[in-house]
Amino acid sequence: MTDPEERCFDPEALLIEAKKAGANAYVPYSSFPVGAAILFDDGSVVSGCNVENGSYGLSICAERNAMAAAVNEGHLKPVAIAVVGGRQGEICPPCGACRQFLSEFNSNLSIVLEDKGKPIVYSLRELLPLQFKFSGKGETKNGR
């Protein structure tokens, strides 16, 4: 398989998949639908939408929803994610929680956003520098 960071992809095609997913968003409270589509190293695409809940803190973003579904299908090496949502024509970058969540799987994931109808591609390292990485189960100062 190709190194996830080197795989070429079509940003516009990935945005189309994200838009399809956004059409399924469950957003009765915010009316802010978001769709995400993740391309994996084997060419698979897994998408997700945001799902709100009356207990607001339980709501989940499209990006994490898509990545969790992908893990369930055995996909662990994302190459790129496209995210679209909110008002038409406005850029919809992933929230901080999703950036950290996605960094678990590819610290330099390509992030495709739509700005006035055109794809723009960032890297996760640009949008989330100095990422947290769990350093293992070694002994800690407090002895736990």
Could you list the active site residues?
Answer: 63
**Which segment (78-86, 92-100, 110-118, 136-144) binds Zn ion by CB under 5 A?**
92-100
Nearest by Cα to 38 from 126, 98, 115, 118: 98
Q: Is 27 in the site for Zn ion (CB under 5 A)?
A: no
**Which segment (30-38, 61-69, 77-85, 105-113) binds Zn ion by CB under 5 A?**
61-69
Number of residues that bind Zn ion (CB under 5 A): 3
How far is Cα 71 from Cα 32, in angstroms, rounded to an integer? 25
Q: Is 61 in the site for Zn ion (CB under 5 A)?
A: yes
Place of tokens 């607001």: 56
Give the gyration radius of the chain's Cα atoms.
16
C-beta closer to Zn ion: residue 2 or 68: 68
Q: Which of residues 83, 98, 109, 111 is near Zn ion by CB under 5 A?
A: 98
Q: Is 95 in the site for Zn ion (CB under 5 A)?
A: yes
Report the residue closest to Zn ion, judged by CB. 61
Q: Is 18 in the site for Zn ion (CB under 5 A)?
A: no
Q: Which two tokens stand for residue 58?
A: 């339980």
Beta-bridged to residue 46, according to DSSP, are 38
How far is Cα 79 from Cα 102, in angstroms, rounded to an integer? 11
For strand 34-40 and strand 45-49, is the pairing parallel, antiparallel, or unpaired?
Answer: antiparallel
Contacting residues toward Zn ion, per CB under 5 A: 61, 95, 98
